[in-house]
Amino acid sequence: MAKTEDVAFAIISAAGDGRAKVAEALKQARRGNFGEAEECLKDADEHLFLHKLQTEELLQKEASGELQGPFNVLISHAQDYVMTGMAMKDMAVEIVNLYTQLRAK
């Protein structure tokens, strides 16, 4: 496994990319480009869930006692960043649906 800090930064980067895709989805939905909005949301999923393997690897290392040393605040920040990105994505799905319904009327 790479250094814990490297894993944390990779998670933060993937989550940031996912959050950017969520923002783009909202922008596209506001413009009435619903197909593009849906594609952005799918892309966001790929980025936001990319951290899963890295997180599982960290958890396995932690459970086996392989991770030594003090609590790493970067990992906490990385997980927080992912969770807020996932919450943004969930809300964006609802907002895109609202835009779609409003445009259909």
Which positions are catalytic?
Answer: 77
Residues 28 and 79: their CA atoms lie apart, in Å, by 27
C-alpha 39: how far from its chain's center? 15
Measured torsion, CA atoms of residues 64, 65, 67, 71, in degrees rounded to the nearest 10? 120
SS3 13: helix
Check if the beta carbon of residue 30 is closer than 8 Å to that of residue 100.
no
Record the tokens describing residue 42, joined without a space: 């799918």
